[in-house]
Structure 1
Amino acid sequence: MSQNPDAYYSRTEVSNSDLTALKNLLHPVPMPPGVKEAAFRFGNLVDAIITEPERVNYYQLTVDDEQYTDDEFRHAKEMYRSLRMTARHDPFLAKVLAEAETQRYMVNQAQQFEYGGFPFTLDTRCKWDWWLDLYKFGGDLKTCSAATQKEFDDAVDFFDWDRSRA
């Protein structure tokens, strides 16, 4: 397992994002232009504030070279504050926030798959926002605007979040 997230994106193994891009090429889902990009952009801001604060410039409202608005920063900081408040009443979340390493990735050579009755293997990679080495347990931070359980379940299905951890 490595801790350098930049190296993750230059690797040749298949990632969940690669599989999602292939699925979207084969089975496109109509969506208004820019909606998905805006969701990922905001998710990147929240993720950086929580797991990679060294990338965040609060004075210039940037993450790396990406410029954000004051409203976007305010909303992302409020989400972080909410996460911290939830951890006060959730011992597991408190342990993750206190002890987990962030932005770790792993590689699995010859990951076994089966699709349509056809077994095959692929070299795969997986990036974890949080990793607890003692427990060999990782997790992802996800943002979404779901107001109901059904909306959340739909987001899980749409973004293939369950497949990413499989």
Structure 2
Amino acid sequence: MNHNPDEYYNRREVSNSDLTELKNLLHPRAQYGDKEAAFRFGTLVDAIITEPARVNYYRRTVDDVSYTADEFLLAQEMHKSLRMEARRDSLLSRVLELSDTQRFMVNKTQPFEYGGFRFTLDTRCKWDWFLTAANFGGDLKTTFATSQKQFDEAVDFFDWDRSRAWYMDIARSDRDFIYAISKKNCLVFKKHITRGDAIYNRGREKYEELAFQYWCLNLN
């Protein structure tokens, strides 16, 4: 299941991001904020926390992408908040200490069912964190949410529930989590997910419909 992460974006298996692109094509909706800027800043935070070797603090770059001093300062403050939260949160502490980061998995001929119809797809995912010994992992997010209520709403609005169900089923794991750090006030929000709970079921329902539509569009 585990491969060199540098190969990930060159692979042809279906990812959750592919499902997102399909959803945006089939059900376009208004975009809020600068999506590219949000992705760019999220990459900086992800790299500082999960792939520090990619970060050049002197040049303020991640790989060949440059960031401003203010962006780096905010990202470092967010990282500090996550580390402080880990002092109170035993799971997060273990995640930061023990997990594999940016690990990707491939599941060949993964079975799906939609409306009683069965089909298969080759699938992939890339974990921010994965605890191999416990066989579960989770996701790191940056968010504009400033309260737990706003974060809970973001989980549904941005289909993070779909993402987590997708990852859980590829890894065949029964647990999952999201830790999100606010870009507004640096608070850390969390969501723990268990197979069969409301978040997992909602996310699985979302991905099964999109996976079927993806399968239909790629019959040839």
What corresponds to 1:103 in structure 2?
Answer: 102
Q: Tell me what 1:48 maps to.
A: 47
Cα distance change, pair 117–38 in 1 and its aligned pair in 2 (3 A): farther
1:2-28 CA distances to partner (integer Å, 9 max, x unpaired)?
A: 252211111110000000000001101
SS in 1 for 2:124: strand
TM-score, structure 2 as length reference? 0.70
Cα displacement (A) at 1:117? 4.6
Q: State the partner residue of 2:27.
A: 27
Higher relative CO (CA 8 A, sep ≥ 6), structure 1 or 2? 1
Counterparts of 1:152 and 1:91, CA distance in 2: 21
Tell me, which stretches of 5 or more residues in structure 2 are unaligned?
166-220
Gaps of 5+ in 1: none
Return structure 1 stretches of 4+ with deviation > 6 angstroms: none
Q: Distance in 2 between matches of 1:95 and 1:149?
A: 23
1:69 aligned residue: 68
Q: Is the CA contact 2:107–2:123 (under 8 Å) kept in the aligned structure 1? A: yes
Q: Which residue of 2 aligns with 1:156?
A: 155
Q: How many residues align?
A: 165
**CA distance in 2 between partners of 1:120 and 1:55 (Å):** 39
Is 1:4–1:103's contact at 8 Å kept on the other side of the alignment?
no
* TM-score, length-scaled by structure 1: 0.92
Structure 1 residue aligned with 2:88: 89
Matched, 1:9 2:32: no
Summarize the alignment of residues 113-132 of structure 1 with structure 2, pairs less than 5 Å apart.
113-132=112-131
User: Post-superposition shift, 1:116?
Assistant: 4.6
Q: Percent of counterpart pairs with the same letter? A: 70
Q: Larger % of strand: which?
A: 2
Counterpart of 1:165? 164
Q: 2:43 is paired with a residue of what secondary structure?
A: helix
Cα drift, residue 57 of structure 1: 0.7
User: Counterpart of 1:27 in structure 2: which amino acid?
Assistant: H
Structure 1 distance, partners of 2:82, 2:70, is 18
SS in 2 for 1:122: strand
Cα distance in 2 for residues equivalent to 1:88 and 1:147: 21
Q: Distance in 2 between matches of 1:153 and 1:109?
A: 32
Q: Distance in 1 between matches of 2:112 and 2:152?
A: 24
Structure 2 SS opposite 1:143: strand
SS in structure 1 of the partner of residue 58 of structure 2: coil
C-alpha distance in 2, partners of 1:3/1:99? 19
1:157, distance to aligned residue in structure 2 (A): 2.3
